[in-house]
Structure 1
């Protein structure tokens, strides 16, 4: 092991005030990185997960559901900048519906649940050092969202980017902030523990956490799931959806043959020659939504027992220190995934939930869908799908990938998709007001084209 490289990195973290728990976890993964590891989970070492509890079949006493939700805290992962869509601030600050951002809608969902069930339901964001200021400023527009005695956010840890050639912490005088990176959303457990927030939540009487991505407006407060999780006695649970042919890239749960433990397997953990098994939606019929529930007390006990190291699989992300400069030094960012923690808890379980709880926005294709009229925003600020069929959107990323370009090409809003089956755009189109898409529509042009206001595009 490069003792000098690890020592330099630890010293850098200590000087920056990084928590001892985070330094312990970093040191663990540094040694894993130096060792010989593939991170692969071969098909022959697992059994497919073929049956799980189904939320729609589960009946929970309303009183028990309310009692469980009263002990639940809602945590939203909010460290992403939305750089893939050309943003330079928290992705959750992107307008989604009627001028409301992801953050606005999340706050209103929580306020509605508090009123309906008579619970405190704290809402806490896990920010990165790049999203914290903008997010806290935006939360000022929501008086009453903060629960007395608890913060609105906690910071994801930061760690040094490591030079790919010798694993020493990289130096970049042009912009020293680029010397640091977040350790992936698997850091949530370390950050909760090392910041002291985990103890504070438990001391305040909270027992359960429901965690999801801030760009998934389907992951709403749910008393029925809270009641199911409390009654299960499980330390940890993942929400799953039925996998379709369009979900072949998403991670899935499986049963490790060696000990019967539930584990998460993603694309990067599948040997290339076995991808046919990974992408088979019949062999592995459920996908992982990244909506997670965990018992705060059992999490704390486990972290104490393991010196803050849950032992999640390492993701070695190879990049350049300046993502915008391909000639800058090559670096490795050590990351982990939040959902992989299911393997760290004996007795962990899963729940099959409706597809409505999985509405992530990763690209402008998904943004088109959630902004369209195939969804209504209810009084409780839940997105309700108003048509039965799935609509496939495929926008030309040359002209629609960045949010500024997307807005310029849909200046009066996205077309109506209520009667659409698919909507594909190839080329530089700009759309007028009240355009309607019906059936399967595919547009293609090499030159600038304007789709006039009121046009009905019928496939």
Structure 2
């Protein structure tokens, strides 16, 4: 087996510089390979690696990212959906978790005293295609005339003004979002916004195993998931720039999560406990059963995604009484610890295989997730936060809730749930509301939902002014003509 490994590593070294740690990383990927898999990997690499590397020459990609692509590609050939050994998986002991609501005021004060040491990074690489938008998701209007970037920047400005500090905003864009985001940045007249672009990987033709080719050159590439946030930050030079300017901590979250704001207590934990890495989690509900969770794997904290769970244990994974928390994808990281890790070797993050169909062809995207980086740091922590810090907008269902009277912006421009509520209603909108355009067409005015427990709409229903929803409301319109609702209170089933 070691001979087979050495042959593959030798082949890879022709195309990328391999440090000893990189060689060990490849060996870990190959350690479970059978004799036939070794032959497959060697044959595929011999026939395709040169083609992939030649394609990457035209892109500004670092040696570290070239290596990451090769490692993930080999991982894909050996075991595209690597299931973890369930015997080694355990839910973290409650005593090992931190709880935001239980932190003392002294921790918050430490955070407040160190606000000038933090930077905020928003992952801004996604398009709004799932909601029918062609441009960056961050440009979708959320409240009034403000989009995600408008509100995010106003949140940071409010903190800077209130606490007399200078927290910069950093945006990691993809090639899909850089153009429009740059235009937005230019309009802000601020020197405290920085951008960088994550690198790209070539898409893979699933049938041939070769680089995917099409008439539209941009369609041949994919952003490699938000796991590239670290290496791309390092390669851009911004990591060094932040450290040189006195920043010690970076807070990373998705741009569509308006609840993920700088928190003095969380910053205080990073400073007082000298944490390298802190991941925010929230209590699981039945809505979150498919979300990734934090577990111990052979005693080490790790991110467990549903795809990594053996089929026989899916029900156990989705048991909210056993695995009580889920990953919110909001992370706090010590910048010097991050730099030290990246200078040692590229992040060794698990492979995510993302299948797509382009031009009626099956293609594969190789990606990674940023939360999985927890395994690359020593002094790590897991903290349980409230749902108010997890307000992502994935569908128009979420957009309806945020735009309703259930939420209002506080003095720091953070969406806050009305104090009369402990949770948001369950909302189900059918395909008539799938795109933002369809949503805006049918919601000329947002109904009052303060006393609504759940809302289900099937068919073409259009809301105009002065509509109130109370209790469990279900509206069905089977007619081809739209049902218009205005000046009405709907209680229960309608």
Q: Closer, same or farther in 2 for the Cα pair 1:330/1:23, shift >3 Å?
A: same
User: Are the counterparts in 2 of residues 432 and 450 from structure 1 also a CA contact under 8 Å?
Assistant: no
1:167 aligns with 2:209: yes
Instruction: Give the equivalent residue in structure 1 for 2:101.
Output: 56
TM-score, normalised on structure 2?
A: 0.87
TM-score, length basis structure 1 = 0.93
Trace 1:331-342 onto structure 2 (pairs within 5 A): 331-342=363-374
Aligned residue pairs, count = 444
Question: Who is 2:38 aligned against?
Answer: none
- Secondary structure at 1:152 match in 2: strand
Measure the CA separation in 1 of the matches of 2:99 and 2:427.
32
Residues 37, 131 of structure 1: alpha-carbon distance in 2 compared, 3 angstrom cutoff:
closer
Q: Which of 61, 79, 87 is matched with 1:18 structurally?
A: 61
What's 1:401 paired with?
434
User: Is 2:385 the counterpart of 1:366?
Assistant: no
1:283-294 matches, within 5 Å, as 283-294=322-333
Relative to total residues, which structure has the larger helix share, 1 or 2? 2
Match of 1:454 in 2: 487
RMSD over aligned Cα, in angstroms?
A: 1.5
Measure how far apart 1:69 and its partner are.
2.1
Alignment of 1:7-406 (within 5 A): 7-36=50-79, 38-51=81-94, 52-59=97-104, 60-61=106-107, 63-144=109-190, 146-147=191-192, 152-173=194-215, 175-257=216-298, 260-306=299-345, 308=346, 310-320=347-357, 322=358, 325=359, 327=360, 329-386=361-418, 387-406=420-439
Give the CA deviation at 1:63.
4.8
Larger displacement relative to structure 2 (3-12 or 391-400): 391-400
Match of 1:440 in 2: 472
- Unmatched segments (≥5 aa) in structure 2: 1-41
When structure 1 is superposed on structure 2, of 267-276 and 383-392 the one drifting more is: 383-392
In the alignment, the residues of structure 1 paired with residue 100 and residue 424 of structure 2 have an alpha-carbon distance, to the nearest angstrom, of 25
Q: Work out whether residues 420 and 437 of structure 1, in 8 Å CA contact, stay in contact via their aligned partners in 2.
A: yes
- Counterparts of 2:167 and 2:160 in 1: how far apart (Å)? 6
- Do the aligned partners of residues 253 and 62 (structure 1) sit closer, same or farther apart at CA in structure 2, a change above 3 Å counting? closer
User: Higher Cα Rg: structure 1 or 2?
Assistant: 2
Q: Which runs of 5+ in 1 are unaligned?
A: none
CA deviation after TM superposition for structure 1 residue 62, in Å:
5.2
